[in-house]
Structure 1
């Protein structure tokens, strides 16, 4: 009897250990299932984000933002993807030039896509010097879309001028590049920049605003162009491109 009782006592810890191993195995399977679902959901979200563009019936005119980060672009593929126009990164501050600018502009036009140039405005450099850089590299063409002044903070530039100084300098820059291009420019302030400087209140220009997946809710007046998705992936371009829509119907701005 003593031997049987001892044997029974020895089996109890073994059963308890086995039960715990079973419970742990079940929890691990459940956790693994949840992790798998999360991974699949994340993958689906990334896939969706890389392909989403606003509906054509609401925004008939749509286009892309392209720069050197997109490599050698196959513009025929960009046209086939539905781009009616393209804004191409051109100049940056007083000396910056996108190395693919001239190639992109020529190839896009050859593919039947309207083109316009973008200048990244620097808070650390004089407006007249920045305008000279733009004028030096961006030729005047009657068929070009209006130039765009990209307004955003840059880690390379710590300066934060007063609003009055910024608006004065920006007005100088616009006057000089508009005299060169023969048409008024667009301004494209980012949300944080606009919140700090209220550029759309101080500069009377058509606005291009930015917000992924949802219409922009900032700016002093309604946007004319909206960068709706900065994560679009297209056959014919490396990395991601910005996808833009024009408010209403008609030609690109």
Structure 2
């Protein structure tokens, strides 16, 4: 979900081969796994969206946003600070996300880079635990040249380091197809780490092995929201706003 730089571009091209996203009204309740009675609408953004009017976004009904902070070991999204503060001030519950490049460094190095550049956490009712965006490699080999065992180790290294830095279990954004191919459909993280599943279709579909449910679902990359120019990723949280605040506050 990295939002150009280039990773997002690769996924937008892939989207042409996927089923068209259903409308939000149709999507509510169409889950392949147990869901809460209510879902909460959100977006994820990066510098790709340009200047965002967060008050308009909130007035349009958007209640949460994941905002790109970092990528790999050196890249910091130039609009992260503006977006992160703007979302907070508008009453949008926000979290940071990191686009993983497992062939560039250890998981620990990238988790520390995220935590030091916007991915830290505070119990203020508006800050979600950061998300690890781990998916198809837009720059080369799908699994970044790592074996399934090495990829599992890399992810564990990232998750454990982020938890030691912040006290929180990071959210994991992925697709079931990538997770199956590149980790061997590893079930290890799902007891503690919220799943953010990406599937641009009318349901979340089959989840990674061991995942009891999805916490977030990115259901389209071509959504429209007042206050954001052009296409934006649209998401649901699997619960109402009170449950989202509980996740934010680790309660």
In the superposition, the TM-score normalised over structure 2's length comes to: 0.74
Name which of 115, 126, 132 aligns with 2:94.
115
Matched, 1:178 2:163: yes
1:188 aligns with 2:173: yes
Structure 1: distance between partners of 2:23 and 2:80 = 25
- TM-aligned CA distance change 1:96 to 1:248, over 3 Å: same
1:86 aligned counterpart, secondary structure: strand
**1:152 equivalent in structure 2:** 135
- Taking the aligned partners of 2:39 and 2:22, their CA distance within structure 1 comes to 20
Q: Is the 8 A contact 2:152 2:186 kept in 1?
A: no
Report which of the two structures shows the higher radius of gyration computed on alpha carbons: 1
Q: Specify whether residues 188 and 133 from structure 1 end up closer, same or farther in structure 2 by C-alpha distance, changes over 3 A only.
A: same
Pairwise mapping of residues 207-246 of structure 1 onto structure 2 (< 5 A)? 207-218=195-206, 219-220=208-209, 221=211, 222-246=213-237
Match of 2:239 in 1: 248
Larger RCO: Structure 1 or Structure 2 (Cα < 8 Å, ≥ 6 residues apart)?
2
d(CA) in 1 for partners of 2:185, 2:130: 17
Alpha-carbon distance between aligned partners in 1 of 2:164 and 2:233, rounded to the nearest angstrom: 28
Q: Which runs of 4+ in 1 moved over 3 A?
A: 48-60
What secondary structure sits across from 2:102 in the alignment? coil
The answer to whether the Cα contact below 8 Å between 2:121 and 2:129 also exists between their aligned partners in 1 is no
Shift of 1:98: 1.0
Q: How many residues align?
A: 206
Sort the Cα spacing of 1:98 and 1:50 in 2 relative to 1 into closer, same or farther, 3 A. Answer: farther
**2:128 maps to 1:137:** no
The answer to whether the 8 Å contact 2:102/2:154 transfers is: no
In the alignment, structure 2 segments of 5+ residues that lack a partner are: 1-19, 30-35
- Are residues 1:202 and 2:183 paired? no
- Decide which structure has greater helix share: 1
Which structure 1 segments of 5+ residues have no match? 1-47
